Structure 1
Amino acid sequence: MQEGEILVPINISRELPATEVLKQEKIFVMDENRAKNQDIRPLNILILNLMPDKETTELQLLRLLGNTPLQVNITFLRMTTHESKNVSRSHLNTFYTTFEDVKNHRYDGMIITGAPIEHLPFEDVDYWEELTEIMAWTKQNVTSVLNICWGAQASLYYHYGIGKYELPEKTFGIYKHRVADPKIKLVRGFDEVFHAPHSRYTTVSMEEIANDPRLFLLSSSEEVGAFIIMSNDAKHIMITGHLEYDATTLAEEYARDLHKGLDTSMPENYFPNDDVNERPPNTWRSHTHLLFSNWLNYYVYQQTPYQWD
C-alpha cells in the first residue's frame, strides 16, 4: 500500500468515471478479482440516483461509502419511466440497472437521493408510480434505507403520510443543527451542534413528525426545521439536507440558478465574507463521514442477516 493510501474496500466497476477520481484522492477502490479473494460477506448497497448530474452524485456518495473497513458492493439503479437529460445514455446503460433486474434480489442497504422536482406534487412526478413500487419492495428486501432531501420527503409521504409544503423562499445555505439524543447510534460521535448544507424549496412539518409514534426526530435546526428523522425500527432514515455535498456544490447551484434567471438569494452562512469569489470551507465533512459510517455499521452491517432467506 502506498504512503497516504487509505484501504477502504469499495467494489465498483473499473470503468466508472468516479473510479479514477477516487484513486487520485488516495482512496483505494477494490476491483472484483480482489474482492472475491477476501473471505468475508460484502455488503450489497443499492443506490437509486435521481439527481440530474449523476456522475457528481456518484462520486460524492462513493467517497462516503468507501470510508469504512467494510467491503461494499455498489449497484446503481435508474428509473425506466423517466428520461435523464444530463447524462449520456451510454453511461446509464453501462453503469446502471433497472428495478426489473434487481427486484428478485435482496440488499443490505439502499440510498434514495434527492431530485430537483419539489415544485411538483408527488403524484405528478412522471416516475412516482415506479418509485412507490420500489419503496414498497424495500419493506421486505432491504435492511435499511437512507433517503436524502426530496427522497426523504417522498419516503415520509409514502410510508408515513407526512406531506411537504412550499417555503416562502428557498432554504439555501449552511445551517446549525442540534442532536436530540446523542445516545442514538446514528449520531454517535456527533458534536451537540453541527453544520449541514440545505438546498430546497419545500419542507416538512416538525409537529407531524413529533406526533407520529413511528418516527423519531433525531436532529433539527431552529432556522430550517427537521433534519435527521429515523423510523423506530431504523428501516427508514430521512435526511432533509445534503450532507453529501462538496464544498463548492452550493456555489455551483447558485451560479446555475443565476444563469437561469431565477431570483435566488446568495447561500446563507456559506461564502467567506459573503464574497462569491472566495472559496467556501467545508464545515460539515466530519459529520457526514460519521453519519454514513454509523449507518453502514450499526443499521446495515450489524442488522442484516449473513444469508438472506
Structure 2
Amino acid sequence: MPINIPDSLPASRILEQENIFVMNEARAVHQDIRPLRIAILNLMPKKIETETQLLRLLSNSPLQVDVELLLTATHASKNTPTEHLLKFYKTFDDIKDQRFDGLIITGAPVEQMRFEEVDYWPELCDIMQWSKTNVYSTFHICWGAQAGLYYHYGINKHPLESKMFGIFHHHNICPKHLLMRGFDEVFVAPHSRHTGISQEDITSEPRLELLSYSDVAGPYLIASRDNRQIFVTGHSEYDRDTLQREYTRDIDKGLAIDVPVNYFPDDDPSRTAPYQWRSHAHLLYSNWLNYFVYQSTPFDLGQL
C-alpha cells in the first residue's frame, strides 16, 4: 500500500532505498480516492526505528494510506531528537476531534511495571476510550496488546520466570479467520518481553477469539469478535537485527540475558541471524489493512 508520508521523514529515504513504494505529498493530492487514515501511537523509545519498521509493513499495495504519527504528551521521549518529534509527531489533543480508519498502538519497555504506575497510563486510557468511537480498527503490539487487553477486557499480564526472547513457532488455529488468510499452519515470529498473557484468560472471554498461539510463548494473535480490536503479543515488525541489538545492549549493561531462542545459527552471536518472519509480518499487516480496515470501514468516517 503506497504510504503518504512527509518527504523529509527519515523513513522515506530508507524505504525508497529498499524499493518500497512511498508516495510523496505532491502526488498524493492528485489521486482522486479517499486514502485510509492510519494513526500510529509510537510508545517505543527509539521512535525513528519503530516508525520505519511499521511504515515498511503498511506499504506496497494499491491503496493510499495517510499516516499520522502520535506520541504521548505526558511522557518526555529521551531517545529521539526533539526536532524530529516537533516536526513529525502530534499529541492526542491535536487529533482527538478527528476520525481514523485504523490505529496502531506500539509496544513499550514498561511491561515490568503495573499499568497504573506508567506515567502516561491515564492518557493512554483516554486514547483507548476515544478509539472506540473515532477509530474503526485498532492494532495493538506487545505491551500495547497487554494494555489493550487489560483496559478493554480486564485481562492482566503476569511476570515470566525469564525473558521471552527469540524466535518462536506459532500454530494457526483459525485458518478461516480473515486475519489468518494465507498463513502457514506453523509460522515464526519474534518475542521480546518479561510478562505474558494467560491463554485460559483469553479463551474464557467470550468477546475474544484466539487465532494463534505458541507452545512456548503463549497466545500470539487475538481478535475481538467484531474485529475492531486486534492484539499481537510479539514483534512481527522487528528488523533482522533488532533482537541482536537488544541482546548486545543488555550484555553491555552487564544484565543477565540468554542468547535469543532460535535466532543466531548454532546460538552463535557472531553469526548473522536469518530473516525468518518477514513474509508473515507483511501478510499480517496487509490482512489487517485489507479485511478489517479498507473492506470494513465506512467511506464517510463521520459514520463511525
Q: 1:25 aligns with which of 18, 21, 24?
A: 18
Q: How many angstroms apart in 1 are the aligned matches of 2:301 and 2:271? A: 50
For the Cα contact (< 8 Å) 1:112–1:151, is it kept in 2? yes
Q: 1:272 aligns with which of 265, 277, 282?
A: 265
Percent identical among aligned pairs is 58
Q: 2:100 aligns with which of 107, 120, 129?
A: 107
Residue 11 of structure 2 aligns to a residue whose secondary structure is helix
Q: How many angstroms apart in 2 are the aligned matches of 1:219 and 1:124? A: 30
1:35 aligned residue: 28
2:208 aligned residue: 215
For the Cα contact (< 8 Å) 1:180–1:218, is it kept in 2? yes
1:238 aligned residue: 231
1:185 aligned residue: 178
By how many angstroms is 1:273 displaced? 1.1
Q: 1:294 aligns with which of 258, 276, 287?
A: 287
For the Cα contact (< 8 Å) 2:102–2:293, is it kept in 1? yes
1:86 aligned residue: 79
Deviations 1:150-205 (A, max 9, x none): 00000000000000010000000000000111000001000000000000000011
Q: How many angstroms apart in 2 are the aligned matches of 1:177 and 1:243? A: 12
Q: Kindly indicate whether residue 278 of structure 2 is the aligned counterpart of residue 285 of structure 1.
A: yes
By how many angstroms is 1:17 displaced? 0.7
By how many angstroms is 1:32 displaced? 1.5
Q: Kindly indicate whether residue 136 of structure 2 is the aligned counterpart of residue 166 of structure 1.
A: no
1:259 aligned residue: 252
Deviations 1:196-221 (A, max 9, x none): 00000000110011000000010000
1:139 aligned residue: 132
Moved more, 215-224 or 27-36: 27-36
2:65 aligned residue: 72
Q: Kindly indicate whether residue 282 of structure 2 is the aligned counterpart of residue 306 of structure 1.
A: no
Q: Kindly indicate whether residue 3 of structure 2 is the aligned counterpart of residue 10 of structure 1.
A: yes
Deviations 1:83-124 (A, max 9, x none): 101001111000000100100000000100000001110000
By how many angstroms is 1:260 displaced? 1.3
Residue 201 of structure 1 aligns to a residue whose secondary structure is strand
Moved over 6 A (4+): none
Q: How many angstroms apart in 2 are the aligned matches of 1:208 and 1:194? A: 23
For the Cα contact (< 8 Å) 1:67–1:289, is it kept in 2? no
By how many angstroms is 1:28 displaced? 2.1
For the Cα contact (< 8 Å) 1:64–1:289, is it kept in 2? yes
1:175 aligned residue: 168
Q: Residue type of the partner of 1:203?
A: G
2:219 aligned residue: 226
Residue 276 of structure 2 aligns to a residue whose secondary structure is coil
Q: How many angstroms apart in 2 are the aligned matches of 1:70 and 1:293? A: 11
Residue 21 of structure 2 aligns to a residue whose secondary structure is strand
**Count of residues paired in the alignment:** 302
1:194 aligned residue: 187
1:4 aligned residue: none
Q: How many angstroms apart in 2 are the aligned matches of 1:256 and 1:66? A: 30
Residue 301 of structure 2 aligns to a residue whose secondary structure is coil
Q: How many angstroms apart in 1 are the aligned matches of 2:142 and 2:91? A: 22
Q: 2:114 aligns with which of 121, 139, 163?
A: 121
Q: How many angstroms apart in 2 are the aligned matches of 1:291 and 1:77? A: 22
Q: How many angstroms apart in 2 are the aligned matches of 1:202 and 1:220? A: 15
For the Cα contact (< 8 Å) 1:209–1:216, is it kept in 2? yes
By how many angstroms is 1:67 displaced? 2.5
Moved more, 31-40 or 232-241: 31-40
Q: Which runs of 5 or more residues in structure 1 are unaligned?
A: 1-7
Q: How many angstroms apart in 1 are the aligned matches of 2:62 and 2:53? A: 18
Query: What do you get for the CA RMSD once the two structures are aligned?
Result: 0.7
